[in-house]
Chains A and B, each alone.
Chain A
């Protein structure tokens, strides 16, 4: 009896002991470096989601880029606090006469974090690597598809043509057409430079479709780039990412040695962690909390708005919307001033066009349509559309920087529209649960959506919305001016001279607002991030692309 009872216990003990023998501590025993005593050696940031991987070529979301940005650099960078480009790994660049061939002078003496040299050959290796994605890699390299069109095995639609290493510090990149986006897009995180040796050794392109997902090579979790930091550990089980200073970095040494990203999906928990002092900052605090956070001694860093919220209109789904008068009537009917004041954070503005002021090509002379319900009623009458029905959709289960609470914004507009006699059919769907599909498939008369710019180019806003005549959410192909708009946008994008290009876009912006009105631009809303009062040196970026190497945290 006693044996029977104790046997399992003995077994368990033996098992535990044998495991003890196996389990080896893998912890670095390195001490916590001295450093000056008035600042901490760790900056802890509360991230809303987990990074997906660390090879930025295959990354698509903000939480992933937030991490990769600290450990990678591109040929071009972004000037802190602005949306403007500045030299990074390339010190200067220059186009050929026809704008199709770009010569990049590279920074010298730069090394990847594995000690490999950065030179023109490495640049061309990276460009070719991105261009030569195959199979599932092409789907995974979503940003390349989006910005460069296509890949080596079918280059018909590709912006990228070839790359030559003239000498160690001179790389020439040839493109197939002129566009305002090049070379600006080289500042995007996805197109960062990575160590050719590590890419080769790690079989970095080995993305495979398996079942209903992709598998990535181990390299994607352990990349080698050039940045103020390098990846130390992604502790998936404890939901933390730890970065440490990269000793081989060419630039200034980071002010804080270690960065820790703590993944905390719930916003109120992030706020409490900040309050308790266990994190030093987090992104996108709810505008409702801004005041409370400031009163508690924190810093709310408001970024310049680099987005637009719009009400999309589909004239194919509701033919009444083909009439400019009807679309203008909707514009006059909306009390955007009131909505911006009550729903959006301070610093938000009513939009006069489909892009924010910081983008080159913005037309300063355009005024937003005023709120004028009488005029709206009159226009509807003239168009014979009194009492028209409008199906108007909003997304649920989502909050975007340009639209913190879609439901409330929608509710305010429904009231405005009903006030001028429009019958509104309200529709809603979860963001990932069919809303975006329905917008793409043209299932709504009107809907709320927006866009946050990737870089400073009008094409990144207007081109995204209206350039593709065959397929765009606004269905401009059914409008008589749809083709003109699309053609003019493409022409403007190809203009090499900057000031001539800006003038062309200003003119297009005016026509969009006054003659076409394919949708209704609503507002620009500044997103914020919040840090504790002890954090210094963080520069808020309109692109939400902050690097943390200048940050210090007081004790």
Chain B
């Protein structure tokens, strides 16, 4: 197991390294750039040259890249020029990432908590009217683009009827920041109104974002439970005289959940991508939001860190999925 994890981690370093080169070259091959973004209409060839020189952008790309690598080796990923000028790019990532995680986790929790029981019920009552209507709902969940649903939810429940806030993560309550997970921060500092406000802001975006994983998890649970219900060992367990509860809990659900866990893991990566879109609609101050601003202002350092960190996160999540799979299914471990 340890060797497996180490090998995967080494692979991850390789992936991030190659990606860093690609991202670095790609950003610098784009026309325009940081200097234009800062100077705007005021730019003249003179001011342009001076600023390029100050930023070291006048040097050959490979020199710039080597310098970047040298600094990155010491944990210095550069300084923001556009998102929050002067701030350490990695700090910006650290302050924004919790927002994206908060949103993704909330969405995943909603999806899992709703989808697994419904999937189970559907399978138990396969082909009943309840089952059919749930299947249709899940189809809609997969088919409707997240941002569209997000927009409808926002318009109906926030703009037209003021049930939830339109956008943002929290009302301006002067809350103390500890981890930048706003719900958690409120609990830690006992500023419970801050947590409440953060939760209220979390509802619409996380529900919108939950639809896709919900639909997928629901359908996998349903199919999987249906399959297990037909297995011989279930019939054996029933005929052995085990109570219905034990059969369902220990034999049906546990076996049926195996593919579900894999699905949840795979959905997590997609969730991060979906979160970026949802962030835009709800002006959620996470990674997606920072990426958009960084791109608009051609903030190279922040773009590099965000893209690399997102890639790294994706790889780590995949690794965690593999590990959890090994834990649930002993056969994977021994292989």
Instruction: Give chain A's interface residues, CB within 8 Å of chain B.
Output: 16, 19-20, 23-28, 44, 49-50, 52-53, 60-61, 136, 139, 142, 145-146, 209-216, 220, 233, 235-240, 242, 260, 262, 264-266, 269, 272-273, 275-278, 397, 429-438, 440-441, 449-452, 468, 471
Can you spell out 25 A-B residue pairs with CB atoms less than 8 angstroms apart?
A24-B176, A139-B50, A142-B38, A142-B47, A210-B78, A211-B301, A212-B79, A212-B81, A213-B86, A216-B85, A236-B95, A237-B177, A238-B182, A239-B168, A239-B285, A242-B174, A262-B168, A265-B283, A265-B292, A429-B32, A436-B40, A438-B31, A440-B45, A451-B41, A468-B44
In the bound assembly, the distance between CA atoms of A235 and B175 in angstroms comes to 9
Which residues on the B side are within 8 Å of A450 (C-beta)? Answer: 41
In the bound assembly, the distance between CA atoms of A220 and B87 in angstroms comes to 11
In the bound assembly, the distance between CA atoms of A240 and B171 in angstroms comes to 9
Tell me whether A50 and B36 are in contact (CB under 8 A): no
Residue of A nearest to B41 (CB): A451
Say whether B121 faces chain A, with CB atoms less than 8 Å apart. no
Which residues on the A side are within 8 Å of B68 (C-beta)? Answer: 211
Q: Which residues between 53 and 110 of chain B lie within 8 Å of chain A, taking CB atoms? A: 54-57, 64, 67-68, 71, 76, 78-86, 95-96, 99
Instruction: Give chain B's interface residues, CB within 8 Å of chain A.
Output: 30-34, 36-48, 50-51, 54-57, 64, 67-68, 71, 76, 78-86, 95-96, 99, 154-155, 158-159, 162, 165-170, 172-178, 180, 182, 185, 187-191, 280-283, 285, 289, 292-293, 296-298, 300-301
| Interface residue from A60, A211, A233, A235 paired with B78 (Cβ < 8 Å) | A211
Residue of A nearest to B44 (CB): A471
Nearest 6 CB-CB pairs, A to B?
A434-B31, A213-B79, A216-B86, A23-B188, A434-B32, A211-B78
Task: From known contacts A136-B54, A432-B37, infer whether A53 and B85 are also in contact, taking CB-CB under 8 Å.
Answer: yes
Which residues on the B side are within 8 Å of A278 (C-beta)? Answer: 165-166
In the bound assembly, the distance between CA atoms of A37 and B289 in angstroms comes to 38
Q: Which of B46, B71, B86 has the most CB of A within 10 A?
A: B86
| Interface residue from A61, A210, A212, A433 paired with B30 (Cβ < 8 Å) | A433
Which residues on the A side are within 8 Å of B76 (C-beta)? Answer: 210-211
Tell me whether B185 and A23 are in contact (CB under 8 A): yes
Task: From known contacts A269-B166, A435-B32, A437-B32, infer whether A142 and B296 are also in contact, taking CB-CB under 8 Å.
Answer: no
Residue of B nearest to A240 (CB): B172
Which residues on the B side are within 8 Å of A433 (C-beta)? Answer: 30-32, 298
In the bound assembly, the distance between CA atoms of A262 and B285 in angstroms comes to 11
Tell me whether B174 and A28 are in contact (CB under 8 A): yes
Task: From known contacts A27-B176, A434-B31, infer whether A53 and B86 are also in contact, taking CB-CB under 8 Å.
Answer: yes
Distance in angstroms from A426 CB to nearest chain B CB is 17
Residue of A nearest to B71 (CB): A211
| Interface residue from B36, B71, B82, B301 paired with A437 (Cβ < 8 Å) | B36
Residue of A nearest to B293 (CB): A265
Given contacts A61-B40, A239-B285, A272-B158, 9 further A-B contacts (CB under 8 A): A142-B47, A210-B78, A211-B78, A212-B78, A237-B169, A265-B292, A436-B39, A452-B41, A471-B45
Tell me whether B71 and A272 are in contact (CB under 8 A): no
Tell me whether A145 and B162 are in contact (CB under 8 A): no
